Amino acid sequence: MWAFILKYILALDLTMMKRIPVLFLLTSLSFISLGDNTPQEDFKTNYDSAYAVTNKEKALQFAFMALDIAQSLNNDSLQASALVAISYNYQYLGNLSNALDYALRAVPIFEKINDISNFGSLYFRIATIYSKLKNFNLSNQYYNKAIGLVKKKEILMPIYSNMGENYRHIQKYDSALYYYQQAEDISANESFFTYNSYLFANRGLAYAAMGEKALADSLLARAIQLFTAEKDLRALTQTYFGMAKIAYRNNNFSGAFRLATLAFETADTNHFVLELKDISQLLSQISEEQQNFTDAYRYLKSYNQYREKVSGDSVLSKISEMRAEFEISQKEQEVIYFKKISRARTIVALVTGIAGLLVVLLALFLYKLTQRLRSANQLLGEYNEELNQKNHIIHQALLDKEVLIKEIHHRVKNNLQIISSIINLQSMRIKDKATQEIFEEMQRRILAISSIHQKLYQSDSVTSINMKDYLSEVVDSIHIAFNNPQLNVKYEIMIQQIVMDIDSAVSMGLMVNELATNAYKYAFKPAQNNQFLVKLENPEPEKYQLTVKDNGLGLPTDFSLTKANSLGLRMVSLLTRQLKGNIRFYNQDGAVFEVVF
């Protein structure tokens, strides 16, 4: 008890004691008589003083004394109330870090005692601190939590107003005006006219930022008039500061300096440390823009001093906070430890018995499992050996099959070469030129098919053909067959790396053979720059497009594949249907054939 009395005496104004010793003696004696008070009464005295004393540094001492009494009584409800009082005074002094820490320390205590009635107010305080720390998103999260718990209109109104302020700071003015309107509706319905000054100021700053100058000036003038009449100097300071920031952003440096100076003078007179820090920084920036580097340096120095003061207070109070947090943590750990010991004593015998039984069952299970694994491994080894033998047989059969298929392709190629030679010999005896050309075309078709079989038995794959190599060879053979220096034909092969099965490759080779032959025979003329293009591409999966183009005379206007006299062109139409594709032909600087399948 004497310790609390001594702390209370030390919290008094010592200068008054020096000037009036008698008053000091009487005051001391009066507190000595408080020795008969109960701890609960001492707590109430200090707790009430924490809010009533205007000197917030002394008020903070009363709040800490209230916390000491609450901890000595081991009363969770009183501890939570004292923590909130400490947070309140730290916030007033501008030490937002400690204000937030002590407010957050009260949360688990309120949860522990299930004090729902105070949750809304506590979340309101935490949200307000986060807003001053410029963490506006987290601030609005706590305001939303508070809205779900608070029922009193006089608390809901500032919550909505402060949420509007948060949105104004992050330049979401539509949302800001929405929440201002919510607060204004409550004010009008509940006749909370004392809060109108804040609503005028908040809305005025929002409209000023939006460029609504006339409306903003009207609202801000009314707010300043009310703040002055109500002597709400902190709100007046913040309003001047908000107006100065908007003027600064609009490059109105003279107006910004005038408003910031008004804010600084009001804050300096009333020792608003947190506001002085921010205003000094703004004045330094404005002075620098005005090329007034002397004032810029002076205000920058002032800003650093106030920033160090806030930071220094935070560090000093952090030590006491860590001590209190450690003590609370120790008590909680002790409770948890004793609960664990009590629980362990009741179940240790049961756990031991169950563990022993599980060990025996596990041993039996492992023994049976080992036996089964040995048997399974033996069967698996026999199965693997049999499987390897079968795989060897299958592999050898596949190799033999591949050799046989290559031999078949070789013999088919040789037979086609023999047929081609016979046709060649026969054509040499024919005198009629038209008949001889028919034999030559037949020979080229056979050679196109023969080339596929040659490539199949010479390559690693016996089922697929590289179309770029194959079609290049087909076009080369046509070019050689119609070799005439006077024609001067330049051909181009544009084929992607495409592989096809033998049936598709045969059809493609015959189509290219017929279209190339047709171009060399009918499209090209001597003494011209004749050009020929074969293009095969794969525009999308499972889809191919063949383009054959020349720059010759083009197709007749009434041209039709089905009615063409040429057997080769009718073959192209037939082969397209065989590939389940479509053919398109048109003139574009010559004849163009496009086959899509």
d(CA 179, CA 197): 16
Give a yes or no: residue 173 inside a domain.
Answer: no
Give a yes or no: residue 198 inside a domain.
Answer: no
Give a yes or no: residue 580 inside a domain.
Answer: yes
d(CA 42, CA 35): 10
Non-local (6+) Cβ contacts of 283 within 8 A are 257, 260, 261, 264, 295, 299
**Does the pLDDT at position 22 exceed 50?**
no
d(CA 461, CA 455): 9
Tens of pLDDT, residues 383-428 = 888 888 777 777 665 555 555 565 565 666 566 767 867 777 777 7
Tens of pLDDT, residues 574-591 = 889 998 999 999 999 899
More confident residue, 297 or 457: 297
Edge-first strand order for the sheet with 582-587 is 489-495, 530-540, 543-550, 591-596, 582-587
Percentage of residues in the chain with pLDDT exceeding 70? Answer: 81
Mean pLDDT, range 524-549, rounded to an integer? 89
Closest by CA to 98, choosing from 318, 309, 326, is 318
User: Looking at residue 461, what is its pLDDT?
Assistant: 66
User: Looking at residue 56, what is its pLDDT?
Assistant: 85
Lowest-confidence pick of 187-201, 225-239, 465-479: 187-201
Tens of pLDDT, residues 426-451 = 777 777 777 777 777 777 778 777 76
Percentage of residues in the chain with pLDDT exceeding 90? Answer: 18
Q: How many CB atoms lie within 10 A of CB 545?
A: 15
User: Looking at residue 249, what is its pLDDT?
Assistant: 87
Look at residue 492 and give its three-state secondary structure.
Answer: strand
The structure tokens listed for 334 are 């002790």
Closest by CA to 65, choosing from 47, 78, 81, is 47
Mean pLDDT, range 148-155, rounded to an integer? 80
Give a yes or no: residue 499 inside a domain.
Answer: yes
Pairing of strands 464-466, 530-540: unpaired
The whole-chain average pLDDT of the chain stands at 79
User: Looking at residue 58, what is its pLDDT?
Assistant: 92
Non-local (6+) Cβ contacts of 402 within 8 A are 462
The answer to whether 507 touches 575, Cβ cutoff 8 Å, is yes
Give a yes or no: residue 560 inside a domain.
Answer: yes
Cα distances from 408 to residues 404, 414, 422, 454, in angstroms, run 6, 10, 21, 10
d(CA 567, CA 2): 124
3-state secondary structure 51-95: HHCCCHHHHHHHHHHHHHHHHHHCCHHHHHHHHHHHHHHHHHHCC
Give a yes or no: residue 557 inside a domain.
Answer: yes
Mean pLDDT, range 269-289, rounded to an integer? 88
The structure tokens listed for 149 are 């718990």
Give a yes or no: residue 566 inside a domain.
Answer: yes
**Does the pLDDT at position 5 exceed 50?**
no
Total structural domains within the chain: 1
The answer to whether 423 touches 397, Cβ cutoff 8 Å, is no
Residue range(s) defining the domain that contains residue 497: 464-596
User: Looking at residue 537, what is its pLDDT?
Assistant: 92
Tens of pLDDT, residues 39-98 = 888 999 999 999 998 898 899 999 999 999 999 999 998 999 999 999 999 988 888 889
- Which pLDDT band, with edges at 50, 70 and 90, does 487 fall under? confident
Pairing of strands 464-466, 582-587: unpaired
The structure tokens listed for 326 are 């450690």
Helix 2-10 to helix 56-73 angle (10° resolution) is 170
Q: Which CATH number do you get for residue 543? A: 3.30.565.10
Tens of pLDDT, residues 395-404 = 665 555 555 5
- Which pLDDT band, with edges at 50, 70 and 90, does 305 fall under? confident
**Does the pLDDT at position 322 exceed 60?**
no
List the beta bridge partners of residue 540.
543
